[in-house]
Amino acid sequence: MKNLILPIILLFVSALLTFTSCQKDPEIITETVVVVETDTVFITTQNTDTLVIQITDTISLTTFVQDTATTFILIRHAEDTGSGNDPTLSSMGEERVEELNRLLENVDLNGVYSTNFNRTKLTAQPIADEKGLSLELYNAFNSNALADEILQNHHSGAALVVGHSNTIPMLLNVLTGTNSFNQIPETEYDNLFVVSVFEKGRAEVVHLKYGE
């Protein structure tokens, strides 16, 4: 019975995305999936009540990576020390990076991008090292250029982008062609967005929470 649960979850998510993606473009399709250390995953959608599913393992990011689109995995940097103009990561931040590395273990990344700050580079570099990739630096305030670069260089692939509480929503809005995403609260470091981009302005967004 346990072996049937995960396929049922995947079928549910696939059916939900297929149904909602037929709506008028550009349309932002957002689910929130909270990945926790227990055996419970909460999946909520804009139009339905919360669905609680018991599974034996935490859900895999590969569930949401589509080979028919370019996948952007967007996160804010992990917790920093707050010391100086360019702080490094705190011990909590280092633990979050370890959790991120675990989540991305089975994801076939083609690129890893970071702004030129200690807190973002220290979040992204371990992932790049693990994947055998060079860390690409980008201008956080030129979201259009970054979107175009990734869509051109990693078409139908996947790229991790590490940014900031104000710049990640800017990129989300560029990818979805909306103004739906607002600044991430300063106290939140656990947001992870998986964006399947078919073309700039037409995308599906899955919003996850990771770590503690």
pLDDT in tens, 180-205: 899 999 999 999 998 999 999 989 88
Is residue 115 over pLDDT 70?
Answer: yes
Mean pLDDT (whole number) for 25-35: 46
pLDDT on residue 59? 62
**Alpha carbons 208 and 81: distance in angstroms, whole number:** 24
For 128-137, the pLDDT digits (tens) are 999 999 999 9
Q: Where are the alpha helices (DSSP H) in the chain?
A: 2-20, 91-103, 118-131, 143-153, 167-176
Residue type, 60: S
Is residue 52 over pLDDT 50?
Answer: no
> Rounded mean pLDDT of the chain?
79
**Alpha carbons 110 and 13: distance in angstroms, whole number:** 25
CATH of the domain at 155: 3.40.50.1240
Q: 7 versus 132: which is more confidently predicted?
A: 132
What's the structural domain count of the chain?
A: 1
Is residue 34 over pLDDT 50?
Answer: no
Domain span holding position 49: 2-209
Q: Residue for token digits 């970071």? A: 114
pLDDT on residue 18? 42
Q: 43 versus 9: which is more confidently predicted?
A: 9
Q: How confident is the model at residue 98 (pLDDT cuts 50, 70, 90)?
A: very high
**Alpha carbons 195 and 206: distance in angstroms, whole number:** 6
